Amino acid sequence: MLPASRNLPAEVRDLLATLGVADALRPDGALALRSPIDGSILGRVVTDSDADAEAKLARAQAAFLQWRQVPAPQRGELVRLFGLELRSAKAALGRLVSIEVGKVASEGQGEVQEMIDICDFAVGLSRQLHGLTIATERAEHRMMETWHPLGVTGIISAFNFPVAVWAWNAALALVCGNSTVWKPSPRTPLCALATLALLRRAQDRFVAAGGSAPEGLAELLLGGQELAEKLAEHPLVPLVSATGSTAMGRALAPRLAARFARAILELGGNNAAIVCPSADLDLAVRAIAFAAMGTAGQRCTTLRRLFVQAEVYDVLVPRLRAAYRSVPVGDPLSEGTLVGPLIDGQAFAAMQRALAEARAAGGVVHGGERVDAGAADAFYVRPALVEMPAQTEPVCEETFAPILYVMRYDTLDAALALNNAVPQGLSSSIFTNDLRESEAFLSVNGSDCGITNVNIGPSGAEIGGAFGGEKETGGGRESGSDAWKGYMRRATATINYGRSLPLAQGVRFDI
């Protein structure tokens, strides 16, 4: 049950003041915000008109033209200072994430930690934005590539990672010499306003120390999908990184393609795990429980499909059912809670629809019922474990709620085929102690996903690796590894330091 004494609107006002955006809430704002924790109205925020968006895009373009001149390690210094601001504000911003999205306290804090981690990564990167020097076929020539800043980077984010996804993109974009324009989910504008206030603090410190960081480096567009469409269509935006549902990607990708703009698409997942007979079942139960029930099933990498080899099915599944029955569901701000609320009533209705379809397809549903937390406008559920006879609809769809479909398999080849037989291709896992099985899973004939884990669940990626997925997940990569290259443009230069003019491929053109 939710504590009767809790007053989330008052707490949010205090947090916003601490985070430097006391004026974020405005009674005349067009957008009303409801906390999924108790359904209370947190306040209203002002949205951006088309003219506002135009002005912000023009400011971002002007900022880009200055920022790209600043040496990359100095750009890294701004991101380093931002990381310091995030460290100081971690408790407050993490709490705001929990209140706006309903994440349990440690996940709200963890999201801010992810922002800090990507800042650290980007600071190092700011001295490593290097290209290759390439052997040429011509004497007295040198060939090299240089990575240049690209331009205004549009960032569209989903509700479920209201700050980390922006940071993954923005920290890289900023050290790469780009400016950013962010269109967050209309459900999470407060997190966005607070995040940019912290960046402004870092910018002030940077400028006070003699740095040059123009206004307009990080703009914010608050409102609905029309603003995302504007980013996708605007000629001043050469790159849009969009995180959200596959439906959103399907709507935006043609608009970007029509003007040959770059897209980093991070869309829906339908992630699977395979449990082999040799698996450490104690470890598998814990990993599956977190991956499938954590964040109330509202992560793009949430585990949604589980393939269990027939020999271990009757050992593993009863243990999972027990974990599902006992997992603490309720107030995400209370110590000990592991599963908080769904984002809203629509998410609850979508979950119930999927469970009804699963029953109609012969599935046996354990859990999935609403849990009464004492607030009519808050939607808590017991996570559902659904034993399915086969991978039929609705297993092939992403329902953004804690539903784990469990299926039996006989051969690893059959399990791999099932893993790959859905339209999405984000994350995947295998639980095995058999080298041949794990290597087969990781091989070209194995999982077709962007993320392939062994003895770890599919959710909870580290920032050091490139993050993203294949097929209807969109094919984008962000965060670590060489994802930074998506935010820059590459120029290949060939220099002739001799006196003759040999042509490539031995072509003759003597005049």
Question: Which residues here bind ligand NAD, judged by CB under 6 A?
Answer: 156-161, 183, 185-186, 224-225, 228-229, 243-245, 248, 251-252, 266-269, 300, 398, 400, 426, 473
Ranked by CB distance to ligand NAD, the top (closest) residue is: 244
Cis bond upstream, residue 73 (ω within 30)? no
The 10 Å Cβ neighbour count of residue 439 is: 12
Interior angle at CA 452, CA 367 and CA 130, nearest 5: 135
Are 42 and 8 a contacting pair, CB within 8 Å? yes
CA–CA dist 496, 138 (Å, integer): 9
* Residues 6 or more apart in contact with residue 235 via CB below 8 angstroms: 259
Closest approach, Cβ 228 to ligand NAD, in A, equals 3
Closest approach, Cβ 413 to ligand NAD, in A, equals 28
| Residue closer to ligand NAD (CB basis): 70 or 118 | 118
Q: Which residues does the annotation mark as catalytic?
A: 266
| Residue closer to ligand NAD (CB basis): 161 or 307 | 161
- Produce one character per residue of 314-344: b if its CB has 16 or more CB atoms within 10 Å, e if not: eebbeebeebbeebebbbbbeeebbbbbbbb
For residue 170, give the nearest of 203, 137, 143 by alpha carbon: 203
CA–CA dist 183, 220 (Å, integer): 6
Closest approach, Cβ 485 to ligand NAD, in A, equals 18
| Residue closer to ligand NAD (CB basis): 363 or 474 | 474
| Residue closer to ligand NAD (CB basis): 269 or 383 | 269
For residue 469, give the nearest of 416, 425, 420 by alpha carbon: 425
| Residue closer to ligand NAD (CB basis): 269 or 458 | 269
- Let me know if 310 is exposed, middle or buried by CB neighbors in 10 A (0-12, 13-18, 19+): exposed
| Residue closer to ligand NAD (CB basis): 236 or 414 | 236
CA–CA dist 27, 32 (Å, integer): 9
The tokens for 112 are: 């801010």
Closest approach, Cβ 458 to ligand NAD, in A, equals 12
Closest approach, Cβ 105 to ligand NAD, in A, equals 20
The tokens for 136 are: 């040429």
Closest approach, Cβ 303 to ligand NAD, in A, equals 13
| Residue closer to ligand NAD (CB basis): 186 or 214 | 186
- CA-CA-CA-CA torsion for 445, 450, 452, 457, nearest 10 degrees? -140
Closest approach, Cβ 298 to ligand NAD, in A, equals 7
Strand partners, 424: 471
